[in-house]
Amino acid sequence: MCYRVALVLITCLLPLSTTVFAELPIPENPQWEVIADVPYLQEASQKVASDTPLHAVAVYGGAVYVGGPAGLGKLSNEGLVVVPEVTGAVTQLHHYLDVLWVVGDGGVWGFDGTEWKAVSAQPVADLCVHNGHVVGLQAGMVYDVSFSGLLAMSAAPAPGPPLQGIASYAGTLYVHNGSRLGILDKGKFAGQYLADWGQLPPGAVIRDMLAVGSRLVVATDRGLATLRGATWYRTVGTDGLPVEDTTTLTTGFDRDLWIGSRRGAMRQVDGEFHYFGHQRWLPDNQVNAIAVDGRTVYIATDGGLGIIGYVPFTLAKKAAWYERWMEEWGHKRLGFVHSLVKQDGEWVRHISDNDVGYSSHYFNALCYKYAVTGDEAVRAEALDMLKSVKWSEEITPMDGFPARSIWAVGDQGDKAKHGSGGLPAEWHRTEDDKWEWKGDTSSDEMVAQHYETSLFLDLIATEEERVWATEHIDRLMSHLLDNGFVLRDVDGEPTRWARWDPAYLMDPKGFAERGLNALQALSYMASAYHHTGDKKFLEGKAQLVEWGYLDQVLRQKRTFHPGYFTWFDDRLAFLAYGPLLRYETDPDLRSLYLRSLERSWEVKRVEQLPWFNFVYGAATGNDCETEASVKHLREWPLDLREYSYTNSHRDDLHAPEGYRMYSERLRSFSPRETRPARWDDNWLQMDRQGGGNSATEPGGWLEAYWMGRYYGMITAPQTDDAALLTVEQRGLELGAKPYTGPGRPKLKHEE
């Protein structure tokens, strides 16, 4: 509660930021909602493995205790240490009235911080606090529980199924026997007049119950049931509950409710559910107990203890965190950025099928960041990266033909062994035997280089830099014009995927790329003419129009049949939309391109991906769902390793209200529930194997954040607390070892 008040005060007291704009056109009177970068709580995870299941967890005196078949354990820096004062299996732990209560097969123990006391030699079914006393169920009777022992408070109940749980709600003791819920009336179970409206889910198994203010919440194998007064309400998958097979309940730290299940943990807060599954958050999916201490949540599972801490962050601090991650984990090399994989227990860089294209998002982030901050160190890094982009063209023997990736001979890493579409990798060695470059270049590289070079020219290039950067665009696009709108490789033949010629696109072989590649080709010509002023690119555009390419642009995004959904092509389309709509001046053509963008974004927006939303907003000035975009940015995990995840079992697999699914996929997922990924990833994929043996570079996240800042969709951080603005520079080496091979050779304009 106090934390929320603090956020409101920060927002009210500090003015919204004013952004330093450079040369990109900014929509006048944009319709998007400006999102203030106020402090929020960021999840951070830790896992402690256990050889035996953990059935109970509690925090007492600043220490974390866990229980299970192996007895009582205490969390230390070395792991879980056995507490010898408690013998036998432990089934429950409770921190009530300044005492840690341990319930197990051997009875009940109490610990007051100084002394352990065996309270009962017989176990109890459950404990709760009622009218200022700890009370428990034993053999169906209610007892007052204290260090003096157990004192009977009720008469023996009538025969029937044994009572399993007890809770104090509305001044009354509620109990359940696993299938029915009632109250204790003069020591007897009474359930027939419990509610006037509604009912528990028929046939449901009751697992836990918890009084939360005006409500009594009951966890069952068929969802949550909530008793308010004399009325039952149900919460199931269609209400947003990710897993209906629930097991345990506890209150959190911010009027939130934590729910365990047989397939992960859930947090209910602010009208929505956050889902935490195995592997990123939990050692195992079976959740048996949850304890909350301050802003840290401890989750006992069959595989050990999951720990989720909530740390105040801003998006600005998260950007600094990811920038430090890239340095500490060794994602950078020779002006490119790489994902990482683990080989033989060591992290190495993956030299992929499209390094130059993938690196473009981090490069774009630097351009936007410099335009916002004016930081010369940022500009210098962007300049260095663009030189590597230019090098990717100069390293090949064909003018205007860029390499996919560059490998230093003798380097350590994971060099791509295949090309796109299952084709073999085409690595070519340079004459000096120092480098290999990857050929069979695809449209991915061309559209990324065209986008990033244009951005560099628009935002940060000096007059001197403008000369060779413009020359780079000229060489790339002249290669297309001179070769009939194809990239022609060393064998003189077009590459497999970089074809914009009608012989391919109007043939059944190129049908799938017809609209996308038409859009790209028109974007190439628009940007090349804008930057070079060479009328041959106007003639190239006229040729494309004559070929009928305009007819393909409107429906470039394929949606039929519903099973055909090339999510990776969406990134290539939006890389084309940006420059095309910046540079095209013909109102009739702009009308067509805007209609195409509107259609494409309507299909894409269900994924709630900030980069796509911001590209759309920047081009149109329309509402671009900035709130959902910032939510997505905040929900990226701090740990960028890619763990396995499973969502196909969930009970909330339906399109959110206000969206339509245009594919056979069911819904989008939060990065919290899936993984951090590049913008060409399948964000609608429900399940994935990862194991934590690869790590994503956060260039896409950084580009979306700084793009949002540049256009004023996101404000500067609304706090002057240094701890919420940046992170300590530690100089650690946590991932791939630093690159030690030869440096980039001089470019032609540097000689």
Residue 600 scores a pLDDT above 80: yes
- Which burial class, exposed, middle or buried, applies to 137 when counting CB atoms under 10 A from its CB (0-12, 13-18, 19+)? buried
Q: What is the pLDDT of residue 17?
A: 39
Q: What is the pLDDT of residue 399?
A: 97
**pLDDT digits over 474-529, tens only?**
999 999 999 999 999 999 999 999 999 999 998 988 988 999 999 999 999 999 99
Final residue belonging to a domain, choices 67, 94, 123: 123
**pLDDT digits over 35-85, tens only?**
999 999 999 999 999 999 999 999 999 999 999 999 999 999 989 999 999
Query: Is the model more confident about 191 or about 629?
Result: 629
CA distance 101 to 624: 52
Structural domain of 93? 48-123
Residue 234 scores a pLDDT above 90: yes
Contact 707, 367 (CB under 8 A): no
Q: What is the mean pLDDT of the chain?
A: 94
Contact 516, 497 (CB under 8 A): no
CA distance 384 to 379: 9
Q: What is the pLDDT of residue 509?
A: 86
Q: What is the pLDDT of residue 476?
A: 98
Local structure of residue 26 (DSSP, 8 states): -
Q: pLDDT tier at 364 (50, 70, 90 boundaries)? A: very high
Contact 277, 245 (CB under 8 A): no
Q: Is residue 72 part of a domain?
A: yes
**pLDDT digits over 415-424, tens only?**
999 887 788 9
DSSP H or E segment with residue 502: helix 502-505
Q: pLDDT tier at 330 (50, 70, 90 boundaries)? A: very high
CA distance 65 to 74: 5
Using DSSP bridges, classify how beta strands 133-138 and 141-146 pair: parallel, antiparallel or unpaired: antiparallel
Question: What average pLDDT does this structure show over 199-217?
Answer: 96
**pLDDT digits over 686-740, tens only?**
999 999 999 999 999 999 999 999 999 999 999 999 999 999 999 999 999 999 9
Final residue belonging to a domain, choices 74, 93, 123: 123
Contact 739, 337 (CB under 8 A): no
Q: Is residue 30 part of a domain?
A: no
Instruction: Please name the residue that has the structure tokens 């007064």.
Output: 229
CA distance 292 to 65: 12
Give how many domains the chain has, as a whole number: 2
Q: How many CB atoms lie within 10 A of CB 563?
A: 8
The residues near 152 (Cβ < 8 Å, ≥ 6 apart) are: 141, 142, 143
Residue 456 belongs to domain with CATH number:
1.50.10
Token couple for 169:
């709600």
Q: Is residue 246 part of a domain?
A: no
Q: pLDDT tier at 21 (50, 70, 90 boundaries)? A: very low
**pLDDT digits over 144-182, tens only?**
999 999 999 877 666 678 899 999 999 999 999 999 999
Q: pLDDT tier at 194 (50, 70, 90 boundaries)? A: confident
Instruction: Using a pLDDT cut of 70, give the percent of the chain over it.
Output: 96
Token couple for 548:
């009928």
Strand partners, 607: none
Q: What is the pLDDT of residue 2?
A: 33
Contact 688, 674 (CB under 8 A): yes
Final residue belonging to a domain, choices 90, 123, 156: 123
> Omega of the bond prior to 449 within 30 degrees of 0, cis?
no
Residue 534 scores a pLDDT above 60: yes
Q: pLDDT tier at 15 (50, 70, 90 boundaries)? A: very low
Contact 333, 739 (CB under 8 A): yes
Q: Is residue 587 part of a domain?
A: yes
> Omega of the bond prior to 561 within 30 degrees of 0, cis?
yes
Q: Is residue 182 part of a domain?
A: no
- Closest to 740 in 3D by CA, of 345, 415, 428, 410: 410
The residues near 573 (Cβ < 8 Å, ≥ 6 apart) are: 516, 519, 520, 556, 557, 600
Q: Is residue 523 part of a domain?
A: yes
Question: What average pLDDT does this structure show over 546-560?
Answer: 94
For 550-554, which contacts have Cβ atoms below 8 Å and span 24 or more sequence positions?
A: 550/518, 550/522, 550/589, 550/592, 552/505, 552/514, 552/515, 552/518, 552/519, 553/515, 553/518, 553/519, 553/522, 553/592, 553/593, 553/596, 554/515, 554/592, 554/595, 554/596, 554/599
What is the sign of the dihedral through the CA atoms of 716, 722, 727 and 729?
A: positive
**pLDDT digits over 71-127, tens only?**
999 999 989 999 999 999 999 999 999 999 999 999 999 999 999 999 999 999 999
**pLDDT digits over 270-319, tens only?**
999 999 999 999 999 999 999 999 999 999 999 999 999 999 999 999 99
- At how many degrees (to 10) do helices 315-329 and 699-711 cross? 150
Strand partners, 337: 332
Q: What is the pLDDT of residue 24?
A: 85
Q: Is residue 303 part of a domain?
A: no
The residues near 220 (Cβ < 8 Å, ≥ 6 apart) are: 200, 201, 204, 205, 206, 207, 246
Q: Is residue 106 part of a domain?
A: yes
Token couple for 293:
């201490």
Beta strands in 500-651 (DSSP E): 645-646
